[in-house]
Amino acid sequence: MAARSFLGDMLTTLFERRQTATNFGDNRSLSDMCRSLLDAEGEISGLKLAQAILDRYARLTPDETLEFFLFLNNALEVDMAALNDAIVEYGLTQSMAGYAKISALSESPRQELLRRLNQPPGATQALVNMRRDLLEALEGTPELARSDLDFQHLLRSWFNRGFLVLQPINWESPASILEKIVEYEAVHAISDWDDLRRRLYPQDRRCFAYFHPSMPDEPLIFVEVALTKSVPSSIQRLLSEERKHRDAQDTKVAVFYSISNCQKGLRGISFGNLLIKQVVAELQQELPGLETFVTLSPIPKLNTWLADQSDIKGVEPLIQGTADQITVKAAATHYLLSAKNTHGAPFDPVARFHLGNGAQIFAVHGAADLSENGLRQSGGAMVNYQYDLDVIEQNHEKFVQSGEVCISPAFQAAQQKSRPKRAAAKTRPKSRASH
Amino acid sequence: MAARSFLGDMLTTLFERRQTATNFGDNRSLSDMCRSLLDAEGEISGLKLAQAILDRYARLTPDETLEFFLFLNNALEVDMAALNDAIVEYGLTQSMAGYAKISALSESPRQELLRRLNQPPGATQALVNMRRDLLEALEGTPELARSDLDFQHLLRSWFNRGFLVLQPINWESPASILEKIVEYEAVHAISDWDDLRRRLYPQDRRCFAYFHPSMPDEPLIFVEVALTKSVPSSIQRLLSEERKHRDAQDTKVAVFYSISNCQKGLRGISFGNLLIKQVVAELQQELPGLETFVTLSPIPKLNTWLADQSDIKGVEPLIQGTADQITVKAAATHYLLSAKNTHGAPFDPVARFHLGNGAQIFAVHGAADLSENGLRQSGGAMVNYQYDLDVIEQNHEKFVQSGEVCISPAFQAAQQKSRPKRAAAKTRPKSRASH
Amino acid sequence: MAARSFLGDMLTTLFERRQTATNFGDNRSLSDMCRSLLDAEGEISGLKLAQAILDRYARLTPDETLEFFLFLNNALEVDMAALNDAIVEYGLTQSMAGYAKISALSESPRQELLRRLNQPPGATQALVNMRRDLLEALEGTPELARSDLDFQHLLRSWFNRGFLVLQPINWESPASILEKIVEYEAVHAISDWDDLRRRLYPQDRRCFAYFHPSMPDEPLIFVEVALTKSVPSSIQRLLSEERKHRDAQDTKVAVFYSISNCQKGLRGISFGNLLIKQVVAELQQELPGLETFVTLSPIPKLNTWLADQSDIKGVEPLIQGTADQITVKAAATHYLLSAKNTHGAPFDPVARFHLGNGAQIFAVHGAADLSENGLRQSGGAMVNYQYDLDVIEQNHEKFVQSGEVCISPAFQAAQQKSRPKRAAAKTRPKSRASH
Amino acid sequence: MAARSFLGDMLTTLFERRQTATNFGDNRSLSDMCRSLLDAEGEISGLKLAQAILDRYARLTPDETLEFFLFLNNALEVDMAALNDAIVEYGLTQSMAGYAKISALSESPRQELLRRLNQPPGATQALVNMRRDLLEALEGTPELARSDLDFQHLLRSWFNRGFLVLQPINWESPASILEKIVEYEAVHAISDWDDLRRRLYPQDRRCFAYFHPSMPDEPLIFVEVALTKSVPSSIQRLLSEERKHRDAQDTKVAVFYSISNCQKGLRGISFGNLLIKQVVAELQQELPGLETFVTLSPIPKLNTWLADQSDIKGVEPLIQGTADQITVKAAATHYLLSAKNTHGAPFDPVARFHLGNGAQIFAVHGAADLSENGLRQSGGAMVNYQYDLDVIEQNHEKFVQSGEVCISPAFQAAQQKSRPKRAAAKTRPKSRASH
C-alpha cells in the first residue's frame, strides 16, 4: 500500500508474526522433539516444531537446561570414526561423493539442529539467549565448549557484517529501544530518563547502535558520542548537567566516551571495531568540520597491575584521593606504554581493544574520572585513544606484528618534553619476561 | 505501530550505504587480494578490501572467472592430511584444543573467505550472483562442485527461514520491484504492464514474495494467487482480460497459479514449500471465508513421458489439437498417479514438488491450457494440487515413506465413478521396473 | 528509493525543511513586513518573508506582542463602510463582480495575512501558538476578540476533521512524543517514565492521540484507555501499580479514564467528541469481545455547587474524609441528574461534555477518587458515562432539544431500587428557576 | 530518523481508514441531508452523514448534479439583507456580538456545509472533484460562480502552501502513483512504461510532485527535470531514446521541460511557481555543481497570434515544414518580447506564467520541437526561461509594475549582435494600442 514503506513492511511482517507465535502441545521429550526436527518431520512442519522446542526450552529449570546442553554436546556430536573413514576413502577415490560425505560428516548434527530451530519469528533472539545460558553452563562443565564452537560458527555467519544495520539512537527513537540503552550502558551508568535525555537530545550528542534485522527490538552494541571543541580530559565535565550545548556544526572533535556490548550470547563475535569505524565515516560525512576522533576511555586495570608491582620499590596502587594527579598521570602513562599480559599484549583490556583496532594513544589525563569507580580502578586517570583513519591500518599492522603501542605525534612530543619530570619511569619493571 | 517504522529505518540505512560504495585501486592479483582478506589485513580493512574484490570480480572475463573459481577450489581447499592427523590426535587426547582444531580444519578457507566478502553493502547479492556463475562453470568443470558445497552451506545459513520476509506485491509496490516480477515470472509470462496490472490490481488477485533484508531490491521467490468462487479448470479463463472481478470477501478458493524462483544463484535452497504454507496462513487470517487452497499447475513432462511409452500399444503423445480432451484428461490422470522416475518418485517435476510438500491431487482437467506451450507439453491438460493443512503432514509422511501419491476424497470419488470409461488405464506400463 | 515509505517521505520533507529554516535580516518594522506580505512582494518571496515575520514575532516582548495584536486588530480590519456600499450596490446590480466584491470585503485582511504566514515549515504550529498568546492578551484587551474570530475561522478550516490523523501512542512511540504526553496529561498527572510505562506498555492499556500532518511533533488531544473485565469504580485501583495485567482479548470493558487537550491555541476547536467515537470504533474492530465503553470521570464542580446550596437545610460540601460514602454517592447522583447552570445545561463541565456527546450516565461511585484533589472537588465521587453507539444519536438529540440527562437502563433500575434509601433526595433544591 | 517513520505511520492510518468507509442508507433528499448536516444532527453523526452525502453525490446524473449545485447556490446563499442590517447595527453599537454577527452572516452556509462534508476519509478528494464538476456546470450556468467563490476560498485554505509536501517521483515510487504521472502529463505525452522509465530511472532525470497529506494517492502538480551539460535547444534531442546518460554530479544545467497540473478541481489555486522554486532549492542542495536553471518551454500561441496579424504585410503563420528556422526563431523572439493580450500582459500563456514567476528569457530556438503539435503551434520554436534566484524578485517586480519582459544578459547580447539580420522586426505591429 502506498501508505507503507516497502521495506518497513518487510520487517513489520517479521515483527507481527512474533505476536501470533502460538503454543503447541507436544508430549515428547525435548530430545525426541529435537531428533524429529532433524528427521523428515522437520521438512514439513519445521516451523511449528522449532517453535515448540524453543518454547519448551524457555521453561526449563537450570538442571534441565544442563541436561539439554549435555544432550546437544554428546548425542549430537560429530562421528569422528565415520569422518576418519570418509577421509581415508576420499584419499583413495578423490570422488565428489566422497568429498561431500566428509563435508557432511565434519559438521555436528547440533549445528543443523540450531539452523532448523532458527525458523520461527523471534528464534534468532532465542538462540542468542540459549548461547548466553551455554556460556554460563560452560563454567561448571568445560566440555560444553564443543557445543559452543558450533554456536560461534553459526552466529558468526548469521551476524555477518553485511547483515548488521547501523542505526542512530536519538530522542525520536522508540521508548522500548531507549529503555534498553539505559539497561545495557556498561561504562557510565545512565541514572534515569533525564540523564538519558541529556545524552541523546542535545545537538552535540549522538548515539549509534548496530541492529540485526531479525532482532529489531534489541541493540547489539552501541556507542555514545560527544561533539566538542577540544579533546576532553574529564568525563565528569563532559557529562555535566550544567554544560553548555554547542551547535554540532561548530564542533571539531568527536569523542567516543562509552561503548557497550548488549548481548551476552554474542560474546566473541566482535562488533566494536566495525562500529567505531562506521560511525567515524558517518560523522565525517555529516559534519565535515570534525577533525579529531578520540575516545575518553577508562584504564580499568591500572590499580590491579600496580598492586602486582608492589614488590618494586616505590610502586603502589593509586589510592583514591591520596595520590597527586601528576603521579597518577605518570603512572598511567607508563602502564599504558609498557604493561603487558602473559601473551605480550597490553595488560589493559580497553587498551588491547583500541590499539588492536589501530587506534593510537593521544593523551593521558589525571583527575579525569573522579567517580568512586574511576578512583578505585585507576586513581582517576583516563586516556584518549585516537582513531586517525590515515594511519589506522599501519598502526594495526605494527601492533599485530611487533606489539608496538602506537602513539600520536602530539603525544610523543608531549612525552619528550615531560620526560625529565616523569616520576613513573621508576616504576618500569626490570624485565619484560616477568609478564 | 511506530516499531514498524523504526525497523523500516534500519533498512533505509542499509540501502543508503550502497550508494556510497566506492571503488578502490589495488594493483595486486585477485588471488593475492583474497589471501590478504583471509590474513590479518582483513581484520582491519576488511570492508574496503572485500568491496575491492567484489568489484574486481564483477569485471572478470569468462576465462578469468573460471581461473578464479579454480583458485577457490584448489588453493583454498581443506587440508585433508592435516584434518586426518587432527582426528587421529583427538582420538588420543580428547582435548578441547584438539576438537577445536578439527572444527577449524574441516572447514575450507574459501568458506571463511566468502564470509569475509559478505561485508560491504550489496555483497550478499554479489555472492548469490557469484554462485550463479559457479553453477554455470560447473557444467564444464565438475570438480568445482567442491566449492559449490561451501556456497550451499553458507547460503543455507544466510537464507535461513528465520531471516526471510514475506511481502505482498501489489499495485502500490515500487516499479523497480514490479519490473523484476515481470522479468522473473517463469510459468505464465507477463506480456506488459497492463498484463501485470491485471494480475496485481484487482481485489481478487494477490501476489506474495519472499525477500531477504540484505537484498531488499530482489525478490527470492513469488507466488501469484487468484481468489475465485470455485476451483478453476482453465488457465486461459482464469487470466482472461474480460473476466469479472470479484469482491475478495465473497471468494471461497485461493488458486496458486504461478510460482517462480528468481535467483539462479540460490538453486537448491528451497523456499517454495515455506512460501505456499505461509501464504495459506496469511490468506486464512485475512479472508476467513476461504475454504480451499489449490494450485492450477502445468504437467510439463506428460508428453515427454508418453513418447517414451510409445512401444505400448495405443499410447502416443497428445498431439496439439488432435487429442480429444477426454483422452487427454485420462492420460494425464494415469500419468500423475503412476509415472515414476528412476528414483521411484513421480516422473513429473511439478508433481514431485507439490506432492513432496504434502499437497494432494484434487482434480485433473483437459483443455485447461490451450496455449502453444500447454498443448505441446501436455496436450492442454492441467492439474489442481490441494494444500489442505489438516492432512498435509500425513500426506508428506506417506509420500516420503512409501512414495504414495495422495489424492483428495473428492478426486477419489470422481475416479471411482469414471473408472469404467477410463481409456488411459490401458496405457499403464506393465512393470514398474522399467522406470 | 525503495527503502522509504512513500508517504513517510512526504512528511519527512515537511519535517526536514523545518531544520533548514534560516534567519533572514529585514530592517523594516513588523507591521511593514506584514503589509509587504499582503502586497505583490508576497507573491514571489512569500515563504521567506513569512518565515522572517514568524521569527520576528517569536522574539517580541509582551508589550510588543500586544502592539502587534492591536495592529492586526485595527489596521487590518474589515472596511465596514466599503462593505456596506458593496452590499447596497449589489442589491441594485446583482452582478457577479458585485458579489465577489462583497465576498472579498467581508473578510478582514488579517485573515489573508495569516494564510500567507502559513507557508514555511513549522508555521502552523507558530500560528497556533500565536493564537494562544492572543487568548492571553484578550483577557486584558477584550476588543481583540475580533481578531480571534479570524483565528478561529482559519483554524477550524485547517484542523478540519478530514485532516486529523488518529495515532496509537504506545511504548514503541518516540520519546519526543511521549514526553509531551507526560507534559500535557491534565486529569491524572503522570509522575515519571515508570508511571508512563505502566499506562502505555501493558496489553490492557491503550492511548490514542489526534495529530495534524503539519504539526507531527505535537499531539492535539489524547485519551488514555484501560481494558478491564468490569466497569471500574475506583481510579486508584484502576491505576494501581500492583494490579494484575490482563490479556486484551479477555477484556469486556474499555474505560476512557483521561482525556487531555494539548494545544491552548486550539481552544474552542473541539476534537474530544470525535476522538472518543473514533477510538470506540477502532477498539471494536480490534477487540470484538469488548461490550461496554465507559469513562471513569471526575465530578469537578460537585463541592462548588454544594457550597452554593448551603442555605438549603442539611446540604453542605462533602468535606474530605468526613462524609460517609453513601451520602457522597447520593449527593453526586442528585447533582448529576439535577444541577444546572444558568443556561439550563448541566452544572458540571465534564457532564456537559459527555452528555453533549450523546453519552449517558452508567453508574456513580463514592470513594472512587481518594486523592487530595478528588476529595476536595467531589468528596471522592466519580461517575461512569457510557458511550453506547446504538443510542448515542438519540441521546444527543434529547439532550440538545430538552436538556434531558440520559441514563442507562441499568442505572435507572439501580436508582429505582435504592430510592427509598436515598438520603440525598433531601438536597433537591425547591425550584429549578434558581439555577 | 525515527521521527519520519512516526509521521509515515500517521498517514498510514489516514489511508487505511479509507478502506472501511461504509455505505449508509438514507431516504431523505440530498438537500434535506445537507440541511441536516448543517443542523444539530451534524454535530453528532457528522462523519457518517457527510459520507452518505458524498456517496449520494457521486451517483448523481448530470441533471441532478446541476440541481444540487443550484441548491447550493441559491438555498445556501448569504442573506444580504440580514448582513446589511447587521452592518448598520454594528455601526451604532460597535459591540463584539455585533461584529461576530457580521462575521457569521458574511459567510454563506454552503461554505460551512463544505467544511462539514470534509470529514470522512477521501472527502478532500471528493470535494476537489465536486469543484471540477462545478467548473463544468459553470459554463452553462454562470451564476454558479457565486458558489465557486466559496470553493476557491476553502480550497485556498486547505491547500495552503504550509500543507503541501514535495515528493520526488522516481522508479522506486508505487506503480499506482506512476500510472497517474502517465495520465496527467500534459506537455510531452508519455507513451508507455518504457517511456516513463526513460524519464524517471536515469541518474540525469528527475521528477518532483506536490502532494497533500489528505490526498496521498493523487499528485497535485509535477515537474520533469533533465540534468544536462548545456542549455538544450531541442526537445526531441533531450528526450531521445539513444541519448547517453550522464552522471548527475557532472551536470551543469537543470532543465524543467514539462510541468503538469493534475487536478482540474484545483484550477486557480496555483502551485507551479512554488514548485519550481522549491525544486531549484532542492537540486542546488543535492548537486552544488548546477549553475543554470532553465525551462525548455513551448510557445503555444505563436501561430494563433501570427494569424491575427495577417493584415500586416509579410506576416503569416509559420506553416509546418515550410518556414525556414531562422525566420521562425526571429518571429518567435519578436512575439515573446512584444505580443500582448488585452490586459497588456504577454499574449503567450506560458510566457505569462514564467515571466510572472520572475523568470527571464534566456534563449529562443527554431527547430526545437519538430513534433506535429510543435510545428502546428509555433512552427517548431521553443524558448528557455531562466530561473535565476538572484534576480527573480526584481524581475517579478518589474513585470508586475511595468509589464517589462525580462531577459538574461546573454540573450540581450545575442539580440544586439543579430539585430541587423532580424527579419521578424518587420512583423512588429504599428501600435501597441491594438492589443
Name the β-bridge partners of A297: A383
- List of E strands, B109-190: 165-168
Contact B224, B199 (CB under 8 A): yes
What is the DSSP track for A160-195? -GGG-EEEE--TTSBHHHHHHHHHH--SS---SHHH
Q: Please give the average per-residue pLDDT across C37-54, as a whole number.
A: 80
Q: Please give the average per-residue pLDDT across A184-191, as a whole number.
A: 87
pLDDT, tens digit, for every residue of B225-266? 999 999 999 999 999 988 999 999 999 999 999 999 999 999
**Is C8 in the D-facing interface, judged by CB distances under 8 Å?**
yes
Give the pLDDT band (50/70/90) at residue C346: very high
Looking at residue B210, the DSSP 8-state letter turns out to be: E
pLDDT(A8) > 50: no
Residue B431 is predicted with a pLDDT of 41
Amino acid found at A373: N
Task: State whether B167 and A217 contact (CB < 8 Å).
Answer: no
Give the pLDDT band (50/70/90) at residue A313: low
Residues of A in contact with C174 (CB under 8 A): 171-175
pLDDT, tens digit, for every residue of D221-256? 999 999 999 999 999 999 998 899 999 999 999 999
Q: Please give the average per-residue pLDDT across D368-375, as a whole number.
A: 91
Backbone angles phi, psi at C179, to 5 degrees: -65, -25
Chains with ≥3 CB–CB distances under 8 Å to C: A, B, D
Contact D4, C1 (CB under 8 A): no
Residues of B in contact with D176 (CB under 8 A): 171-172
The span from the CA of D140 to the CA of D114, in Å, is 23
Size (chain A), residues: 435
Q: Please give the average per-residue pLDDT across D353-367, as a whole number.
A: 93
Task: State whether D158 and C153 contact (CB < 8 Å).
Answer: no
Phi-psi region of C152 (alpha: psi -120 to 50; beta: other; left: phi over 0): alpha
Contact A181, A219 (CB under 8 A): yes
In total, the C-beta contacts within 8 angstroms joining chain A to chain C are 54
Alpha-carbon distances, residue D379 vs A400, D238, D312, D352, D373 (angstroms)? 75, 18, 19, 20, 9
pLDDT, tens digit, for every residue of C129-175? 999 999 999 999 999 999 999 999 999 999 988 899 999 999 999 99
Task: State whether A6 and B91 contact (CB < 8 Å).
Answer: no
Residue A42 is predicted with a pLDDT of 58
The span from the CA of B4 to the CA of A14, in Å, is 9
Kindly state the helix (H) or strand (E) to which residue B89 belongs, with its residue range: helix B80-93
**Is D193 in the B-facing interface, judged by CB distances under 8 Å?**
yes
Contact B237, B243 (CB under 8 A): yes
- Give A7's contacts (C-beta < 8 A, 6+ positions apart): B8, B11, B12, B15, B216, C2, C3, C4
**Is B175 in the C-facing interface, judged by CB distances under 8 Å?**
no
Residue B313 is predicted with a pLDDT of 56
pLDDT(C430) > 50: no
Contact B239, B254 (CB under 8 A): no
The span from the CA of A200 to the CA of A189, in Å, is 14
Q: Please give the average per-residue pLDDT across D113-140, as a whole number.
A: 95
Give the pLDDT band (50/70/90) at residue A318: low
Query: Of the given ranges (B361-365, B418-422, C26-30, C423-427), which has the lowest mean pLDDT?
Result: C423-427
pLDDT, tens digit, for every residue of D33-65? 999 899 866 566 678 889 999 999 999 999 999
The span from the CA of C259 to the CA of C64, in Å, is 35
Residue D420 is predicted with a pLDDT of 54
Q: Please give the average per-residue pLDDT across D411-433, as a whole number.
A: 57
**Is B103 in the A-facing interface, judged by CB distances under 8 Å?**
yes
Chains with ≥3 CB–CB distances under 8 Å to A: B, C, D
Query: Of the given ranges (C110-124, C144-158, C378-392, D2-16), which has the lowest mean pLDDT?
Result: D2-16
From the CB of residue C343, how many other CB atoms can be counted at a distance below 10 Å?
Answer: 9
Buried-exposed string A143-167: b where 16+ CB fall within 10 A, e elsewhere = ebbbbbbbbbbbbbbbbbbbbbbbb
Alpha-carbon distances, residue B399 vs B343, B359, B429 (angstroms)? 13, 10, 21
Contact B300, B383 (CB under 8 A): no
Residues of B in contact with A121 (CB under 8 A): 162
Buried-exposed string A209-221: b where 16+ CB fall within 10 A, e elsewhere = bbbbbbbbbbbbb
Q: Computed from CA positions of residues C280, C283, C287, C293, in that sequence, does the dihedral angle turn out positive or negative? A: negative
Residue D239 is predicted with a pLDDT of 92
Residue A40 is predicted with a pLDDT of 62
Give the pLDDT band (50/70/90) at residue A309: confident
Give the pLDDT band (50/70/90) at residue C423: very low
Contact A363, A383 (CB under 8 A): yes
The span from the CA of D257 to the CA of D295, in Å, is 5
What is the DSSP track for C205-233? EEEEEEE-TT-TTS-SEEEEEEEESS---
Residue A162 is predicted with a pLDDT of 85
Give the pLDDT band (50/70/90) at residue A310: low
Residue B26 is predicted with a pLDDT of 73
Distance between C167 CA and the closest CA of chain A, angstroms: 14
**Is B176 in the C-facing interface, judged by CB distances under 8 Å?**
yes
Long-range contacts of C196-201 (CB under 8 A, 24+ apart): C197/A175, C197/A179, C197/C171, C198/C239, C198/C241, C199/C224, C199/C239, C200/A175, C200/C169, C200/C170, C200/C171, C200/C173, C201/C170, C201/C171
Residue D386 is predicted with a pLDDT of 97
Residue D33 is predicted with a pLDDT of 93
Give the pLDDT band (50/70/90) at residue A323: low
Residue B247 is predicted with a pLDDT of 93
What is the DSSP track for D117-159? HS-STTHHHHHHHHHHHHHHHHHH-GGGHHHHHHHHHHHHHHT
The span from the CA of C64 to the CA of C50, in Å, is 18
Residue A393 is predicted with a pLDDT of 83
Give the pTM. 0.87
Q: Which domains does chain D have, with CATH numbers?
A: 27-158 (1.20.140.90), 161-295 (3.40.630.180), 298-422 (3.40.630.150)
- List of E strands, A302-365: 360-365
Distance between D401 CA and the closest CA of chain C, angstroms: 9
For an interface test with A, which of B84, B160, B387 has the most A Cβ atoms less than 10 Å from its Cβ? Answer: B160
Grid cell at residue D161: 502552501
| Nearest by CB: A167 against B10, B78, B173 | B10
The span from the CA of C350 to the CA of C332, in Å, is 13
What is the DSSP track for D243-264? PPP--GGG--EEEEEEEEE--G
> What CA dihedral angle connects C181, C187, C192 and C194, to 10 degrees?
-90
Task: State whether A193 and C193 contact (CB < 8 Å).
Answer: yes
For an interface test with D, which of B171, B198, B218, B286 has the most D Cβ atoms less than 10 Å from its Cβ? Answer: B171
Grid cell at residue D135: 467548473
Average pLDDT, whole number, for chain C?
Answer: 86
For strands C253-261 and C221-228, give the pairing: antiparallel
Alpha-carbon distances, residue A17 vs B165, C379, D233 (angstroms)? 10, 49, 56
| Nearest by CB: A172 against D3, D11, D174 | D3
Chains with ≥3 CB–CB distances under 8 Å to D: A, B, C
pLDDT(B4) > 60: no
From the CB of residue A61, how many other CB atoms can be counted at a distance below 10 Å?
Answer: 8
Q: Please give the average per-residue pLDDT across A384-401, as a whole number.
A: 88
Give the pLDDT band (50/70/90) at residue A273: confident
The span from the CA of B36 to the CA of B53, in Å, is 11
Average pLDDT, whole number, for chain A?
Answer: 86
Q: Please give the average per-residue pLDDT across C316-324, as a whole number.
A: 61
Contact A80, A102 (CB under 8 A): no
Contact A128, A211 (CB under 8 A): no
Distance between A181 CA and the closest CA of chain B, angstroms: 15
From the CB of residue B109, how many other CB atoms can be counted at a distance below 10 Å?
Answer: 17
The span from the CA of A264 to the CA of A128, in Å, is 8
Grid cell at residue C388: 453506547
Looking at residue C244, the DSSP 8-state letter turns out to be: P
pLDDT, tens digit, for every residue of A21-61? 344 467 889 999 999 899 866 566 678 889 999 999 999 99
Alpha-carbon distances, residue A381 vs A256, A346, C20, C280, D384 (angstroms)? 17, 17, 42, 60, 68
The span from the CA of D202 to the CA of D207, in Å, is 11
pLDDT, tens digit, for every residue of D188-203? 888 889 999 999 999 9
Report the residue of chain C nearest B174, measured CA to CA: C2
pLDDT, tens digit, for every residue of B129-180? 999 999 999 999 999 999 999 999 999 999 988 899 999 999 999 999 999 9
Task: State whether C145 and D216 contact (CB < 8 Å).
Answer: no
In chain B, the percentage of residues whose pLDDT exceeds 70 is 86
Q: Please give the average per-residue pLDDT across D290-319, as a whole number.
A: 82
- Give B318's contacts (C-beta < 8 A, 6+ positions apart): B302, B303, B306, B327, B328, B331, B378, B379, B380, B381
CA A239 from chain centre, in angstroms, equals: 23
> What CA dihedral angle connects A133, A138, A144 and A146, to 10 degrees?
100
Report the residue of chain A nearest B94, measured CA to CA: A143
Contact C318, C302 (CB under 8 A): yes
Grid cell at residue A387: 582513531
For strands A221-228 and C165-168, give the pairing: unpaired
pLDDT(A426) > 60: no
Give the pLDDT band (50/70/90) at residue D311: low
